[in-house]
Amino acid sequence: MQTAAATTPAAQAIADADLRAAFGRFATGVAFVTGEADGAPLGLIVSSFAAVSLEPPLVSFCPSRESFTWRRMRAAGRFTVSILSERHAEFARRAAARDADRCDGAAAVLRDAPATIECELAAEHAAGDHWIAIGRVVDVRVAGGDPLVYFAGAFGAFRPH
């Protein structure tokens, strides 16, 4: 099997805007990944969260390789993924900013998240300009609620047919 990289001429470049637009056409959920470093709470908004395996129970998300927050969280070896609901849209917008205080207002988000997944860092793999962080699930809490969705650069609500 040939990979896409092997079939694309090296001289043919993909414009960043086109790539972002294409990736943005895939609707994803939104999660708030939290951890602690030296007693200080830390957090990241991610749209790259995914279930990986039921046995063993594994999840993944992809923080930027430039993320100072992830570098600090990684050292703790533990993190919590809180699946965000549509009522968390304003928090997600604010916390997604590069220099945001992501823990301001986070207590309420963590308290009423539709699902919370506690993990131990099991592996990390470099992948381009991001890391693929794999967490082994050690505990879960499910509370229910409609998820927050990220699509075409905007947050929204999921409306089932």
Mean pLDDT for the stretch of residues 139-149: 93
pLDDT of 24 higher than 50: yes
Which tokens hold the place of 95? 């916390």
User: 30-69 pLDDT, tens per residue?
Assistant: 999 999 999 899 999 999 999 999 999 999 999 999 999 9
Domain that holds residue 69: 27-148
Q: Count up the domains in the chain and report the number.
A: 1
Residue 84 confidence (pLDDT): 96
Q: Average per-residue pLDDT in the chain? A: 89
What pairs with residue 148 in β-bridges? 157
8 pLDDT band, cuts 50/70/90, is low
Please tell me the pTM assigned to this model. Answer: 0.86
Residue 11 confidence (pLDDT): 38
Mean pLDDT for the stretch of residues 85-114: 86
Question: Looking at per-residue confidence, does 159 or 91 come out higher?
Answer: 91
- 13 occurs within a structural domain: no
The burial of 94, by beta-carbon neighbours within 10 Å (0-12 exposed, 13-18 middle, 19 or more buried), is given as middle
CATH of the domain at 58: 2.30.110.10
